[in-house]
DNA sequence: CACCATAGTTAGAGGTTATCACTGAAGTTA
DNA sequence: TAACTTCAGTGATAACCTCTAACTATGGTG
């Protein structure tokens, strides 16, 4: 018998209830944000009473941690798929934006305001570097490169985060700015800071992407 | 008698208590984040009992709104001071970073994950455009300019947010990217996404700033 | 001094997370 | 089949939270 999946019926049931709880949690997060996530409400919605959920999750924080993990996993999968589609960094960027717009609260759960005491568990940083790896691959495939900047020199000495990826500093730099710039536009868009301004976030995003994927800056 | 300030002793007292409440609220936000702000705790800390605070603020939301307003005001003042110091966009950028690092939660209160039901009152958007105006002034003083991009054309038709500032689209574009790019680096830094990576956020920020203030991109 | 607007109080409704002791049912073993 | 063990779900309870309502007491003002 295979150890990994579907062992005892009890475990099957347990896993099913766990995923249903998470589904309800996602619904709740999608409508009201992570701060409004209520174990009580989820329990009531599932027809059972409050403390029952503590059989499945140690508490609110543990549930949120699990959701963060799932969100990271989802983004990593999206990135992998986009990378395999082979449309380079622009494909990755569009995949990122699509993923973010599909559920803004999920994006904020990862990249938004950090919750007070919470800190990401180790495996999320593993998934995070997985994401970074596919981004680095895409950036390495771009035509390189402009003059070396002082920051490139700094990166030469601090490339641990790249997980041993054999890319020149300029590529690391590009991946980093890809991340920060697109996050800059995206997070402001999702937070609604452009709504009152009348400008089109998609075009601003595209402009940043053009500047990123196009010219090796000089 | 002057209408504007220090009228009756009661109003003086009232204003004093209001500011003390806000001070405590800021302390609380600085340590535990905005989501953990508790009127009850503030009241207890001030030696009075819960509901007393409702004489001074309509509720939690109204207090937070006030804090958001103050945060905007503080940032606008910081920007004005930096602009008057006359060190251009780099001065503005450094002022922004210093202001953000001085109290990260205050930054997130403005530019972080939007709180569920809350939406900014009108006057905060007024302050926001005040900030944008000084940024536009600084950007207009930069040497211009590269080739016109498609997004510049879009901005030509959507420049309402600039509040009638007489700047060419390229300058509007630059101000916008100044905002989004620096916010990208800054928000990720404040959220701690660089801590495990070993890179220096200050240098990444500086690199983005160089790219922004230096070459009219091509 | 008398009056009254208002600051602050307690009580309470309704919400939350979380722990505890208990019940009852399901699965396991003799 | 009968006995036993494990565990899901329960209600009660504690300790918080926001916010409303009614009441008291005090300070400023006619």
Q: Where along chain A do its domains lie? A: 1-58, 61-213
| Contact at CB, A182 and B181, closer than 8 angstroms | no
- Contact present, B176 and B131 (Cβ < 8 Å): no
Mean pLDDT over A113-125 rounds to 84
CA distance linking residue A104 with residue B202, whole number of Å: 28
Q: Which residue in chain B has the smallest CA separation from A161?
A: B197
Mean pLDDT over A151-173 rounds to 95
Q: Is B181 exposed, middle or buried (0-12, 13-18, 19+ CB in 10 A)?
A: buried
Q: Provide, in whole angstroms, the distance separating residue A52's CA from nucleotide D2's C1'.
A: 31
| Contact at CB, A155 and B180, closer than 8 angstroms | no
Q: Which fold has domain B61-213?
A: Tetracycline Repressor; domain 2 (1.10.357)
Q: Which nucleotide is nearest to B14 (CA to C1')?
A: C7
Closest CA to A70 of A40, A98, A32, A103: A103
| Contact at CB, B185 and A180, closer than 8 angstroms | yes
pLDDT tens-digit profile, chain B (218 residues) = 333 455 777 888 899 999 999 999 999 999 999 999 999 999 999 999 999 999 999 999 999 999 999 999 999 999 999 999 999 999 999 999 999 999 999 999 999 999 876 778 889 999 999 999 999 999 999 987 678 899 999 999 999 999 999 999 999 999 999 999 999 999 999 999 999 899 999 999 999 999 998 776 54
Q: Which comes out higher in pLDDT, residue A37 or A118? A: A37
Whole-Å CA distances, A143 to A41, A138, A146, B167: 52, 11, 10, 34
- Nearest neighbour of B198 by CB, restricted to A33, A161, A173: A161
Identify the residue whose Cα has the smallest distance to the C1' of D28.
Answer: B10
CA distance linking residue B44 with residue B53, whole number of Å: 10
Mean pLDDT over A199-203 rounds to 98
Q: Is B41 exposed, middle or buried (0-12, 13-18, 19+ CB in 10 A)?
A: middle
Express as a percent the part of chain A with pLDDT over 90: 85
- Band of the pLDDT at A82, cuts 50, 70, 90? very high
Q: To the nearest 10°, the Cα dihedral for B93, B94, B95, B100?
A: 90
pLDDT of residue B161: 95
What does the block give as tokens for B7? Answer: 């009228």
């Amino acid at each position: 018998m295979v150890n990994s999946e579907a062992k005892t019926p009890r475990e099957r049931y347990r896993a099913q209830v766990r995923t249903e709880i998470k589904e309800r949690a996602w619904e709740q997060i999608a409508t009201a944000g992570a701060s409004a996530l209520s174990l009580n409400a989820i329990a009531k919605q599932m027809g059972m009473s409050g403390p029952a959920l503590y059989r499945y999750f140690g508490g609110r924080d543990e549930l949120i941690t699990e959701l963060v993990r799932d969100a990271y996993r989802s983004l990593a999968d999206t990135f992998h798929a986009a990378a395999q589609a082979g449309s380079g960094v622009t494909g990755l960027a569009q995949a990122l934006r699509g993923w973010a717009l599909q559920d803004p609260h999920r994006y904020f759960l990862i990249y938004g305001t950090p919750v007070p005491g919470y800190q990401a568990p180790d495996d999320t940083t593993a998934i995070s570097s997985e994401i970074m790896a596919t981004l680095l691959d895409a950036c390495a495939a771009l035509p390189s490169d402009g003059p070396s900047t002082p920051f490139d020199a700094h990166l030469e000495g601090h490339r641990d985060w790249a997980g041993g990826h054999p890319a020149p500093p300029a590529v690391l730099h590009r991946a980093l700015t890809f991340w920060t710039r697109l996050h800059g536009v995206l997070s402001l868009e999702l937070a609604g800071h452009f709504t009152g301004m009348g400008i089109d976030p998609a075009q601003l995003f595209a402009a940043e992407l053009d500047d990123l994927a196009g010219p090796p800056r000089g």
